[in-house]
Structure 1
Amino acid sequence: MEYRKLGKTGIEVSEIAFGAEFLVERPYEDTEELIRVCEDNGINFVDCWMSEPDVRSHLGNAIKDNRDNWVIQGHIGSTWQNGQYVRTREMDKVIPAFEDFMERFQIDTLDFGMIHYVDQIDDYDEIMNGPFIEYVRKLKDDGTIAHIGLSTHNPDIGLLAAENPEIELLMFSINPAFDMFGAMDDIEEYRKEGAYDNDLSSLNPQRAEIYELCQKNGTALTVMKGFAGGNLLSDETSPFGVALTPVQCIHYALSQKGVSSIFVGVRNPQELEESLRYCTATDDEKDYTEVLKNAPKHSFKGQCTYCGHCQPCRSGIDIAMVNKLFDLAKNHDEVPASIMEHYHNLKFNATNCIACGDCDERCPFEVSIVDVMLDAQDLFGFRL
């Protein structure tokens, strides 16, 4: 198992982490068995967003003897009401639900207190300007939580969180299917029948911008929905018309800038072992580019995915970044000032391209990178 630091916090966590979403209505023995497999294989990071009381109690009991070895993400705003999960910002529900979490996990300090599931701008604004964030700040001031995090599926929220120094960790849904979409304020949009029928043929540059911003600002970035709810693992349900392996999905997520760890949701030790194969997989087994390039539906052939296979550049250009900024800017009538500034602040930009063609030869998606550099020169102008 390899380990990475969580942004500026300096906390080291396993690249593969345990997402406990499938433990609802399962006996304690199942939880204990999975936790032991995690510990035996070096997994030291767990996320629990579930409010179902037994899940919390089972996880707390399973890790209590080795608590010092675990890093925990726990969610604030996930409640259990009338026998079911409810996301809420009502403080008379939020506070007892979080206190229940701490009691059932048998802990005094939570490593990351996660502002739970924020997918609407109005919700984000209400949280950040009301009693919810005041409560979270108090938890941190009191030492009940060590760090503040936030979970979202919406790139608009992701950008806001990555720019907010108070948010130390962003939990975001990252996989090659979701990465084709722009901002959505409802996770169900990704799952609707026909959601992928439109002309989705390239990664959304806004999402790539989030990953870059997290790395730049030292905001820890952790991954959920890495398998797109399992849809990517089957030819029948994959939006590409062909399945990826768990190893390829994990590699995709861990290859994005800023990412520290991916939470895998598994039902049993066998499924966990499939993900753990990543630790010993060959480069060929990890490679997802050929699958995406040759997919019968939504092939990325000819489209930059900002994967970095084109590097190194003889002129020192960050090719993926230039492509990303070009994609962000090209659909505007006028290049936004922020994008223009970012481009011209690059140490080397498209102006420095010598058209050697080395990058074209290395690109797995057959992007004409030299042509993009020329187009970027036309769009952005020459160095200021």
Structure 2
Amino acid sequence: MEYRKLGKTGLTISRMGFGGIPIQRIDAEGTRKLLHEMADKGINYIDTARGYTVSEEYLGYAMEGIRDKFVVATKSMARTKEAMAADIETSLRNLRTDHIELYQVHNPSMEQLDQVTGKDGALEALMEAREAGKIGHIGLTCHSVQVFERALELEWVETIMFPYNIVENQGEDLIRKCTEKNVGFIAMKPLAGGAIEDASLALRYICANKNVTVVIPGMAEAGELDENIQACEDEKSLTEEELKKIEDVKKQLGTDFCRRCNYCAPCTVGINIPSVFLFAGYLQRYNLADWAKDRYSTLAVKASACVGCGECEKRCPYHLPIREKLKKCAEDMGE
């Protein structure tokens, strides 16, 4: 397993980490078994979040006795100082630890980022927790190119997590800037939320980009672990056959895959179209129905509110059938 420095944090981590979303489908014992295998095979980076229901708790149980084998990252969608301070304490309890190596601001919008960095914002709690030794470093995750670009200008941001895969490469220039600024780059959604079926090809594609510090595929069983390790450890250049397969995947998904570029906005009736597709993907591809519907319920305007005006489709650079996809999301989500 290749190891790298996670940007300016100075933490030494495995090139392949562990994405903690799918373990919501298994149990604490299954998670424990998986983490012990990871430790044996040299994977030391774990990503989870306050929002991933039981993920932190399962991981805390699973790390009992082997906590020193891992660099742990979690994240919170809290935007105020009070809420973030409370979430940090909850994360520490859930993870059964007295410190967390990396704590991240979870997917803020541009407006929410202002709140995070303002008076009594979440950043104040993160700074205080770092001073107290409860967390080691501070990062940010996002789905928006605009937020990614802004985050690179914020001195306190030590790492950035952003979707990067065969069909979502809109952040490639900014990923390169992460290297230039010594900001650790964490590639999430390596399989595009499950849309890319060939996991080995997807991971080979990502690891071919030397500006990616770590990639975090979600895993729930040992078979996935072994396959993913093999792909990430393969240092051979992508073959002509693999490059052709990559182009085929782009063509296949490029006509029917939301890259969350947000060019479709503003919706006439206020639907947050990329978020609808993001949450629906957790249900459609990960089979995490309850969690997906819970996140979907936070949206002020649901997919069913679509009036079929088609303005979003005129602006979509990928010519997605957005109205049709919103109708499907409304059916799947029940509203």
Taking structure 1 as the reference length, what is the TM-score of the superposition? 0.61
Aligned to 1:270: 223
Q: Is the 8 A contact 1:278 1:286 kept in 2?
A: no
C-alpha change, 1:210 and 1:284, in structure 2 (3 Å) is closer
What is residue 61 of structure 1 aligned with on the other side?
61
Identity %: 24
Deviations 1:295-348 (A, max 9, x none): 682799xxxxxxxxxxxxxxxxxxxxxxxxxxxxxxxxxxxxxxxxxxxxxxxx
User: 1:250/1:49 Cα in 2 relative to 1: closer, same or farther (>3 Å)?
Assistant: same
| Partner SS for 1:57 | helix
1:127 is the counterpart of 2:127: no
Q: Does 1:152 align with 2:105?
A: no
What's the CA shift for 1:225? Answer: 0.2
Letter in structure 2 aligned against 1:290: K
Q: Distance in 2 between matches of 1:277 and 1:249?
A: 12
Does the aligned pair in 1 maintain the 2:166–2:249 contact within 8 Å? no
Q: Which runs of 5+ in 1 are unaligned?
A: 78-87, 180-203, 234-244, 301-384
Corresponding residue for residue 283 of structure 2: none
Q: For residue 146 of structure 2, give the secondary structure of its aligned residue in structure 1.
A: helix
Counterpart in the other structure of 2:183: 219
Distance change (3 Å), C-alpha of 1:247 and 1:148? same
Q: Counterpart of 1:278 in structure 2: which amino acid?
A: A
* Deviation for aligned residue 1:277: 1.8
**For residues 213 and 163 of structure 2, what CA distance do their matches in structure 1 show?**
13
> For 1:24-67, what per-residue CA distance to the aligned partner results, in whole angstroms no more than 9, with x for missing partners?
25321111111112112110000011445643222112113121
Q: 1:13 deviation in Å? A: 0.7
Name the counterpart of 1:116.
106
Contact preservation (8 Å) 2:25, 2:220: no
* 1:1-384 paired onto structure 2 within 5 Å: 1-24=1-24, 26-51=26-51, 54-77=54-77, 88-118=78-108, 120-130=109-119, 131-179=121-169, 204=170, 207-233=171-197, 245-279=198-232, 281=234, 283=236, 288-293=242-247, 297=251
Q: Distance in 2 between matches of 1:275 and 1:157?
A: 29
CA contact (8 A) 2:186 2:213 kept: yes
> Aligned partners of 2:52 and 2:247: how far apart in 1?
41
Give the RMSD, CA atoms, in angstroms: 2.4
Q: In 2, are the aligned partners of 1:292 and 1:299 still within 8 Å (CA)? A: no
Contact kept? 1:175, 1:253, Cα under 8 Å:
yes
**Number of aligned residues:** 252
Aligned residue for 1:89, secondary structure, equals coil
SS in structure 2 at match of 1:4:
strand
Shift of the 286–15 alpha-carbon distance from structure 1 to 2, 3 Å rule, reads: farther
Question: Which structure has the larger Rg over C-alpha atoms?
Answer: 1
In structure 2, the CA distance between the partners of 1:9 and 1:89, relative to structure 1 (3 Å rule), is: closer
Structure 2 unmatched ranges of 5 or more: 255-335
Shift of 1:279: 4.6
Q: Distance in 1 between matches of 2:239 and 2:94?
A: 38
1:90-118 deviations in whole A, cap 9, x for unaligned?
A: 55544323211101212112100111122
Task: Tell me the equivalent position of 2:284.
Answer: none
User: Counterpart in 2 of 1:350?
Assistant: none
What SS does the aligned partner of 1:231 have?
Answer: coil
Shift in Å, 1:284? 6.4
TM-score (norm 2): 0.69
Counterpart of 1:64 in 2: which secondary structure?
coil
Q: Distance in 2 between matches of 1:11 and 1:101?
A: 20
Distance change >3 Å, CA 152–CA 52, structure 1 → 2: closer
